[in-house]
A and B are shown apart, each in its own frame.
Chain A
Amino acid sequence: MGNPINPKIVETQLSGAATMQLGFTLVEKMHLDGGQVVNASLADYRIPGIHDIPPMENEIVEAWQSNGPFGAKGVGELATFNVSPAIANAIDDAVGVRITELPLTPEAIFRALRAKAGMPIEDRR
């Protein structure tokens, strides 16, 4: 991932990005009504708290980014990439449904299971 100029910050970026993606993957869903966000508060739009964090280990694989400053490379949201696929794979492995839209809420899983069983849940309008 380039040259870690400040390894401590690189680690925080990694676990921070993974935590953010954990929220997007499991709980964060914006509800829109006519273009307006209707759950724009932390009461209705939950984000990960300290209890939601699994044990994490960060490892930096050093490299030299020839066109980056001092061989560095932006670490920003790097660790977001694999969180959602990993959890989606785990769900598929556990109950045999592949969900390709976030968030992977209990409701989404239930709907996918019902659809798979040939009894899809109709949305009432």
Chain B
Amino acid sequence: MISATTRTIHFRLNGRAVSAEVASHHTLIEMLQAQFELTGARESCGQGLCGCCTVLLDGKPVSGCLYLAAFADGADIVTIEHLGEPDRLDPVQEAFIECGAFQCGYCTPGFILSAKSLLATNPQPSDDEIKDYLSGNLCRCGAYPEILQAVKLAARKSKRG
């Protein structure tokens, strides 16, 4: 049903074609949580400053707290839930575990997706390139040294294939 204030959008979500009914003020994060029960991307600051709500939209990381759901019409969205399987993790996920790159884990989905998209465009980044790319993600627990190590390890893992 379509009312004056909602519209139907069609997009790909984690590899499946889906559609959703969204109001013009709904953000991507609200839609993913309320309509698809995807809670890996989570809202923290709600201002585009912390990166906890990161999802990949057409391969690029966006802040789901600011991105309006209606704009996702026709897009290809990937959330943290789509990475790896419990017994076969994505190399970036593996690297985060091996390096202990988190404490509470609240920021981790955002860091992992940002790191994924960095490595997709720059498979062997320098330390400075990693820091620049991840500067929009905040970790209150201060796991930054381990996160840096993890991204470097993930780069080596991906190289080995």
**Which positions in A face B, CB cutoff 8 Å?**
8-9, 11-13, 15-20, 22, 41-43, 47-51, 53, 56
Contacts and interface: CB of A to CB of B under 8 A. Distances in A.
Given A9-B100, A15-B145, A42-B50, A47 B140 contact: yes
Contact of B144 (A13, A42, A50): A50
B147 A12 contact: no
Interface stretch (B3-11, B17-25, B130-138): B130-138
Contacts of A18: 142
A60 B81 CA distance: 35
B138 A42 contact: yes
12 contacts: A11-B100, A15-B146, A16-B103, A22-B142, A41-B45, A42-B138, A43-B47, A43-B49, A49-B135, A49-B138, A53-B142, A56-B145
B24 to A, nearest CB: 24
B27 to A, nearest CB: 17
Interface of B: 45, 47, 49-50, 100-103, 131-132, 134-135, 137-148
A74 B132 CA distance: 34
Contacts of B131: 50-51
A53 B144 contact: yes
Contacts of A19: 142, 144
Q: 3 tightest CB-CB pairs across the interface, nearest first? A: A19-B142, A16-B142, A8-B100
